Structure formats: C-alpha cells, structure tokens
Amino acid sequence: MTDITDHLAEVRDRVRVALAKAGRSSDATKILAVSKGHPPASIEAAYRAGQTDFAESYVQEALTKIEALKALPLVWHFIGRPQANKTRAIAEHFQWVHTVAELKIAERLNAQRPHYAPPLNVLIQVNQAGERQKGGVAPGELRTLAHAVGQLGRLKLRGLMSIPPASSGTKYFDELRALKDALAEEGLSLDALSMGMSADFEEAIAAGATWVRLGTIIFGPRRSH
C-alpha cells in the first residue's frame, strides 16, 4: 500500500510538470484513479493519500466496492460500456458517466437518476478512429447527440471522452478538444475533456485534458475484474 502512496506522489508531480509546460493552471487537470481489478483496500490506501475520484468499468464489481467503502466521501465515475439493463444502478450509485454514446442510454439515465441526488455528470464518448472494438459515437454524429443530451434535465453534460488508438501522439487529443470547442460555440457549456491514460497522459494534458484516467501507473497490474 505504500507503493500506492508513492505512485500517486510521482504521478501528481508529472501532472504538475505537464501542466506547467503547457502554461495551464496547476489544478486544470484532475487525476481519475481507475480502480477496476483492484480491491477496496487499495482504493482506501489511495484515498488516505489524498485521492478522491475513482473510476470503474464493470457495474457489478463497482457496486460491491462502493458499498464496502460507503463511509468514505469518494466520487465514483463510470467508464465502462453502459448497458441498458445496468443504467438504473449507474444512475443511483455514480456521480459521473464518461461513456455515454447513445441517446437511448442517456434517456434511461435521465429517467432513473434519483430525485434526491444532483444531476448526473455525463461525458459523451467519441470513437475518433472508428475502431469497432471500442464504444463511442462517430464524430459526425456527435453534434446531434450532444444537443439532445444537453436537453435532459437530470443529466449535466460536461464534455467529451475518448480512448484513441495507442501511440498516436497528440492528433486525436487535439481533435477532441476542437470538437468540444465547436460544441461550446454552439452554446453548450462544456468544461470537461477526459483523455489520456497511463501511457500518454502528459500528451493529453498538453492538449487540454481535464481528467486523466490512470490505473496501472497508480495501482500496478490488475488482478481481476
């Protein structure tokens, strides 16, 4: 568990340096700790080291951990593919969803978000390179989807997310930022860009990421999911 504390300190330093190089303010990018495949004890260790935002990809696995850790003030983000039969659990137990790619799913989350909770923060996932194995809306369909999601009162559309092909440099990160800026010009008030993982987060920060999703670099290799 001391490893987790050390890894977090190193990653925070690297984020700080990348932000300074990019001329961005020191709190412009937040670390999202991707805890899928890691037990509650690891999440608690990261929390004790100052990490508050955690991301999970599998609903069933996440619910067990959220329940086990409910005494801690953690913020949970869903980054997996939201299936229609899991939207209620997501709407009830998460504060953020980074992977909305279909209006049908957004409408279910909107209808199922409990009234005692604030609106659910959502990002639209964009499949920038048209990769069949990945989720996300095609760039050409983004505009229509974003404006429709922006109308849903129990959701708060915050921005865009992408998992571009590995080792493609900053091209897709720059493009995602441009897509967000274009939507902002049409009146959608977007403030979030979720892009960059353990291998490429510094490039994503240079391009404007507000969330970098880091798993392995914080927690080590995943055991399971």
Ligand X SMILES: *Cc1c(COP(=O)(O)O)cnc(C)c1O
What are the residues binding ligand X (CB under 6 A)?
A: 34, 36, 57, 79, 163, 197-198, 213-217
Exposed/middle/buried for residue 59 (C-beta within 10 Å: 0-12, 13-18, 19+): buried
Minimum distance from residue 71 beta carbon to ligand X (Å): 26
When CB distances to ligand X are compared, the closest residue is: 215
- DSSP 8-state symbol, 118: P
Minimum distance from residue 149 beta carbon to ligand X (Å): 19
- Yes or no: say if 173 and 208 are a contact pair by the CB < 8 Å rule: yes
In the complex with ligand X, which residue's Cβ is closer, 19 or 214? 214
In the complex with ligand X, which residue's Cβ is closer, 12 or 154? 12
Name, in order, each residue with C-beta under 8 angstroms of 24's C-beta and a sequence gap of 6 or more.
Answer: 205, 208
In the complex with ligand X, which residue's Cβ is closer, 70 or 222? 222
In the complex with ligand X, which residue's Cβ is closer, 124 or 182? 124
Minimum distance from residue 33 beta carbon to ligand X (Å): 9
- DSSP 8-state symbol, 29: S
In the complex with ligand X, which residue's Cβ is closer, 57 or 112? 57
- E strands within 79-187? 96-100, 120-125, 155-161
In the complex with ligand X, which residue's Cβ is closer, 64 or 151? 64
Minimum distance from residue 57 beta carbon to ligand X (Å): 5
Minimum distance from residue 151 beta carbon to ligand X (Å): 26
- Yes or no: say if 78 and 54 are a contact pair by the CB < 8 Å rule: no
Provide long-range contacts, Cβ within 8 A and 24+ apart, for 41-46.
41/1, 42/1, 42/4, 42/219, 43/69, 43/74, 44/69, 44/72, 45/1, 45/4, 45/5, 46/4, 46/8, 46/218, 46/219
Minimum distance from residue 152 beta carbon to ligand X (Å): 23
